[in-house]
Amino acid sequence: MIKKLLKLVVLFTATLLLIVSCSKNDDEETTTPETPTSTVPVLEDNVKIIDQTKLQLDVTPTKIDEGIYQFTFTGTAPTIKSGDLIVGDQGEGFIRNVTASKVDGNIITLQTTQASMADLFKEGGFNFSLNMNDLTEKKAASGFSYTITNRSIYQEGPLSIVLNKGQIDFDPNWFFDFKFNKTGMTFFELSAKNAKLNGELTATVTAAQATTLVNKSSSILTNPKAFTKEHTIWVPAVLLGVTVLVPVRIVAKLDLILDYSATINAAITRQTTFTSTNTFNLGIQYANGQWNDINSFSTVNKFTLSQRTGNAKATINLALTPKVSFRLYNQAGPYASVSLMEQLSGAIASPSLDWDFKADVWLKATAGVEIEILDFDKLDYNKSIETEKLFYTTPYKIESVSGNSQVGEAGKQLSNPIKVRIIDNLEKIQSNVPVYFKVESGGGSVQTSSIMTDENGFAQTTWKLGTSGEQVVTVSAKKGDGTNILGVPVTFTALFKSLIGTWTLISATPAIGTFVPDYIQCVGNGDIVMEENRINSGQMIVTKDGGQIIFNSTQKYNNITYDDKCKVTQDSPDTFTEGTDNAAFTYDEKSFFIKDVESGTIDTYSYTLLSANKVSVLGCVFERK
């Protein structure tokens, strides 16, 4: 009795230490993961736990596939009959319903059908965690890291796809939680919380001519088997009132997959780089009779177009995906993946050769489960979510560089060209973009109405002014579908150097028609005359050699008597005199030169061209009619 009690104590103590068996080929690794916690599960009464030290399974694939589980035993034949459920960790593990049993010598042969974990567990639950170190052949400091460089992914006919660099740093800690009762599975969760994913996808797509490649997918791991790990989670449970350890056999597989497709109608080369840094939560959960997804992403994405030759109508799709899948008892189970998604598209118009190129980059995360190994009565489930897209587009914007607001002579070419720049949405220069220059008004002309941007993203042309009216040129650039890019139109204006013509006064300081005191004097008792002036209208006539300014004005005189305190004691009636002032002038590019009629000196007055037909001088604005 004491020996039996001691045996139970030892068995109970073992339930407090979870042993994880990790194997590849003939090598065995043992780690101690997080101890399963939950309500202690109770097994169904008909469960038989197969001890591989006493029963050796014949793992011949043809027998296993036919449901024949044959064991070699030593000593007394095991008592396993039809209606029992066997569970074990040999091979990739098994849960099987026994439909027939036969003993022949030291071999017991069982005819079986697939069972589920809901058939194994009567009630209760358990949970455990696996990190990415548990999924790799070689332990890393933290998580999974893999880099591949300069790998030819596809080469056939005119199309070549080269993975210049594919890098993934992936560090989730996968959490599993199971609960059961007499109705079956009542709760399940697969999740990774606060996980890390950093990735880079640099690829070059080259098409020598028009081509189409339907969806292709391939693993880029050089040795995929190195990233398959087998684990046995020993879960404390109760069977017929006795505490036992039941094996939960799980095989974890990590793969790195590149998906790609292309439709291209001309020869092009595109090399792009997509980098992504992420912290995320991802998973699925079954509770209260329904599925829910677990997802949230904090993402920083960057995109670079490092090589672009040729223009074509094209759509290219690339995706780099680390995928983790888990098999339970040799049956497909839960899985999860996070994809770096990239879509490149372009358009080109004929015969104009207007074109555009666009790239969208984003993450697509998927979590799901093939449910039969958990519970035959439940349905498979999966959920995918996509993060917000980061877009790249070119040509994106047109900007003025130089040449606006020049002053020139009517009918002659301006001193400097008018110049614009084309950039992408990352503010980098873009070459080989058609740019269009158009004279909108003034009757002038441009040397080139359409030109491609150079290697620095610039396009320029010279402008010959017209002879009358406002001088305006607009500049534009278009996408492949004919719509304008941002910044269109860029407007250039120019002013005439020539002042020849008749100009009319439209404003003055002070305002036209307002009397302005010329002087006021008060020195004590006496009479003075106060003069006020106003401009009624004005005109300027300019010829090739000179001109004249004519002001029509009114003068107002008041005879005012002051006392010793300079108070007005008498104000005589007003006297009005109307007259015309006429001043002749010569001029150069900046100034009028007017001879003072009293002193005979030459006074200089600068003028400013406000527009092609407006000029400011002497505090007045004249407009050429």
pLDDT digits (tens, 9 = 90+) for 544-565: 889 999 999 888 777 777 776 6
Beta strand pairing call for 85-88 and 47-49: parallel
**Cβ(359)–Cβ(293) under 8 Å?**
no
Closest CA to 288 of 407, 439, 391, 186: 186
Q: What is the pLDDT of residue 589?
A: 78
Nearest to 185 by CA among 464, 43, 374, 322: 374
Are residues 170 and 255 part of one domain?
A: yes
Distance between CA atoms of 87 and 64, rounded to whole angstroms? 14
pLDDT of residue 581: 85
Do 465 and 336 share a structural domain? no
237 located within any domain: no
Q: What is the CATH classification number for the domain harbouring 481?
A: 2.60.40.10
CB of 345 within 8 A of CB of 315?
yes
Q: Is 465 exposed, middle or buried (0-12, 13-18, 19+ CB in 10 A)?
A: buried
DSSP strands (E only) in 310-447:
314-328, 331-348, 355-369, 381-386, 390-394, 397-402, 406-408, 418-423, 434-441, 445-446
Whether residue 82 is contained in a domain is answered as no
Q: What are the counts of helices (DSSP H) followed by strands (DSSP E) for the chain?
A: 3, 45
Q: Are 166 and 256 within one domain?
A: yes
* Res. 8 pLDDT band, cuts 50 70 90: very low
pLDDT at residue 61 in the model: 92
Q: Output b/e per residue, 336-348; b: 16+ Cβ within 10 A.
A: bbbbbbbbbbbbb
Q: How far, in Å, CA of 137 to CA of 133, rounded?
A: 8
pLDDT tens digits for range 341-380: 999 999 999 888 899 999 999 999 999 999 999 999 999 9
Q: Are residues 425 and 511 in the same domain?
A: no
Distance CA 113, CA 97 (A): 5
Lowest mean pLDDT among 26-40, 326-340, 419-433, 476-490: 26-40
Instruction: Answer whether 310's CB lies under 8 Å from 269's CB.
Output: yes
Is residue 286 in a domain? yes
Quickly tell me which residue has 């607001």 as its tokens.
405
Ranking 475-479, 495-499, 583-587 by mean pLDDT, the lowest is 495-499
Same domain, 455 and 556: no
Domain boundary among 367, 394, 421: 394
Domain range for residue 505?
501-624
In which band, very low, low, confident or very high, does the pLDDT at 328 lie, cut at 50, 70 and 90? very high
% of the chain surpassing 90 pLDDT: 68
Question: Which DSSP string do the residues of 541-606 spell out, in sequence order?
Answer: EE-SS-EEEEEEEEEEEEEEEE-TT--EEEEPPPEEEEEEEEEEEEE-SSEEEEE-TTT-PEEEEE
Residue 502: C-alpha distances to residues 279, 283, 538, 592 (Å): 73, 81, 11, 16
The arithmetic mean of pLDDT across residues 172-198, rounded, is 95
274 vs 409, higher pLDDT: 274
Residue 96 lies in a domain: no
Whether 64 is covered by a domain: the verdict is: no
Task: Please check whether residues 263 and 291 belong to one and the same domain.
Answer: yes
> Both 433 and 574 in a single domain?
no
CA atoms of 227 and 138, how far apart (whole Å): 9
| Prediction pTM value | 0.73
Per-residue pLDDT of 592-619, as tens digits, reads 999 887 788 999 999 988 876 789 998 8
What is the Cα–Cα distance from 569 to 522, expressed in whole angstroms?
Answer: 12
Over residues 310-322, the mean pLDDT reads 93
Whether residue 4 lies inside any domain: the answer is no
What is the predicted pLDDT for the residue at 518?
67
Residue 512 has pLDDT above 80, yes or no: yes
Q: What is the pLDDT of residue 34?
A: 43
CB 2 within 8 A of CB 9: no
Higher pLDDT residue, 89 or 518?
A: 89
- Total number of domains in the chain: 3
Same domain, 444 and 582: no
Residue 14 has pLDDT above 60, yes or no: no
Q: Considering 474, 496, 518, which residue would you say is the last residue of a domain?
A: 496
Residue of 278 and 25 predicted with greater confidence: 278
Q: Answer for the pair 231, 20: CB distance below 8 angstroms, yes or no.
A: yes
Residue 21 vs residue 311, higher pLDDT = 311
Among the listed residues 361, 197, 365, the one whose alpha carbon sits nearest the alpha carbon of residue 277: 197
Selection from 496, 499, 503 nearest residue 467 by Cα: 496
Q: What is the pLDDT at residue 562? A: 74
* Residue 38 is assigned to a structural domain of this protein: no
Q: Rounded to an integer, what distance in angstroms lies between the CA atom of residue 552 and that of residue 508? A: 13
Residue 276 sits in the same domain as residue 423 = no
Question: Is 24 inside a domain boundary?
Answer: no
Mean pLDDT of the chain: 88
Report how far residue 30's alpha carbon sits from residue 21's, in angstroms, rounded to the nearest whole number. Answer: 5
Q: Which residue has the higher pLDDT, 307 or 94?
A: 94
pLDDT over 70 for what percent of the chain?
89
Domain shared by 310 and 384, yes or no: yes
Tokens of 198: 């950093």
Claim to verify: residue 427 and residue 491 sit in the same structural domain: yes
The 10 Å CB-count burial string (b at 16+, else e) for 7-26 is: eeeeeeeebeebebbbeeee
> How many whole angstroms separate alpha carbon 361 and alpha carbon 365?
13
Q: Which of 445, 461, 496 is the last residue of a domain?
A: 496
Q: What confidence category does residue 456 fall into, taking pLDDT thresholds of 50, 70 and 90?
A: very high
**327, 419: one domain:** no
Please, which pLDDT band fits residue 580 given cuts at 50, 70 and 90? Answer: confident
pLDDT digits (tens, 9 = 90+) for 217-261: 999 988 877 788 889 999 999 999 999 999 999 999 999 999 999
Q: Tokens in use for 545?
A: 């050699």
111 vs 513 pLDDT, higher one = 111
